[in-house]
Structure 1
Amino acid sequence: MRRLLTRLGGPAVAVMLTVGPARPAQAAGPAYFEFTDAGRRTAVVRIDDPGTIQHARDLLSGATDQQPHIFGRIVKSPAAYNPKWSFHYDPGTVHFFDVMVEVCDATTPFVEDHLDEAGGSFLPGLFWCPWTSRLTREVPAP
């Protein structure tokens, strides 16, 4: 029995050295991206969904050009990561699109200037889909 363990021990150690020790999976955290639109002002969006984060990174790297525009529900309050504006996207609602209905299209400054009207006939349901939005870069977490 001792010889069997010795014989198996060498290959087992070699496999462990090649593969390396098991590492616990890192929890995927949120990612933050700067974007702009026809208003030429920048804002920051927080994205929580790993698949959506990957799509955003693929857009920035040029791996895809599909669904380049941001869509989601806005919250009428500032966020620490987006201090220039009195609103931000609800991170759990952020997605990307190619084509969307006109009723949710507006530039960032227009949303800021008409925030008190958002949720009614302007941006019904607080859904905002700036047709000209484009990611510009990934930014560090605040």
Structure 2
Amino acid sequence: MRASGLGRRIGISAIGGAFLLVMLAGCSGGSGGGTTVPSVATFEIEQQTFKIELATPELVQHAKALLAGEEVAAIPVGHIVRDDPSVNAPWSWHIDPATLEFADFTTEVCDGLPEYVEDGTLTSDIYCPWLAKVTSVQPIR
């Protein structure tokens, strides 16, 4: 019985230690350091820019990885919120930050320029510009 009790205490201690490490890593902002949430990523596609709010530390780190030229999923994908620019002024729309993901590939029905979202040419409720590149990641002030 004694070995079993000791094993249980070691297991609980190891779980507690792992939890503490995860919590400390979260506080430090991850490997990139200085992660600020919320932040905003600026994208450029064919000399047009648009902005998307990054609502989680993981999204901030992902956008910073893209900015650094790392090979990670690069296509921003999210639901369009029309008639509300939020962080995406002067456009009249923004991407709902709660729906933002990055993908390696998508269907072409959601691909296009920011102006296509603005003028209604892009009729999909989802925007996924294939050629968009991150040009900056900044904290929302």
TM-score normalised by length of structure 2: 0.69
Q: Is residue 31 from structure 1 mapped to residue 39 from structure 2 by the alignment?
A: yes
How far does the alpha carbon of each residue in 1:22-57 deviate from its partner, in whole angstroms, 9 at most, with x for none? 9xx48962111100113x211111011221211111
Corresponding residue of 2:58: 51
Within 5 Å, which residues of 2 pair with 1:63-78?
A: 64-78=70-84
Deviation at 1:78, TM superposition (A): 2.7
How far does the alpha carbon of each residue in 1:54-81 deviate from its partner, in whole angstroms, 9 at most, with x for none? 111111123x222112111110123342
Which amino acid is the alignment partner of residue 112 of structure 2? A
After TM superposition, which residue ranges in structure 1, 4 or more long, deviate above 4 angstroms?
25-28
Cα distance in 2 between the residues matched to 1:29 and 1:73: 20
Corresponding residue of 1:141: 140
Within 5 Å, which residues of 2 pair with 1:119-138?
A: 122-123=123-124, 126-138=125-137
Give 1 or 2 for the bigger CA radius of gyration. 1
Within 5 Å, which residues of 2 pair with 1:58-97?
A: 58-62=65-69, 64-97=70-103
How far does the alpha carbon of each residue in 1:92-131 deviate from its partner, in whole angstroms, 9 at most, with x for none? 11111121111111110111111xx76xxx21xx111111
- Pair 131,53 (structure 1): closer, same or farther in 2 beyond 3 Å: same
Segments of 5+ residues of structure 2 without an aligned counterpart are 1-23, 30-35
Q: Is residue 103 from structure 1 mapped to residue 118 from structure 2 by the alignment?
A: no
The structure with the greater share of residues assigned to helix is: 2
Which amino acid is the alignment partner of residue 54 of structure 1? Q
State how many pairs are aligned.
110
TM-score normalised by length of structure 1: 0.68
Cα distance in 2 between the residues matched to 1:104 and 1:68: 15
Cα distance in 2 between the residues matched to 1:69 and 1:29: 20
Cα distance in 2 between the residues matched to 1:133 and 1:104: 13
- Pair 26,66 (structure 1): closer, same or farther in 2 beyond 3 Å: closer
- Pair 102,89 (structure 1): closer, same or farther in 2 beyond 3 Å: same
Which amino acid is the alignment partner of residue 50 of structure 1? P
RMSD of aligned alpha carbons: 2.3
Tell whether the 8 Å contact from 1:70 to 1:134 is kept in structure 2 after alignment: no
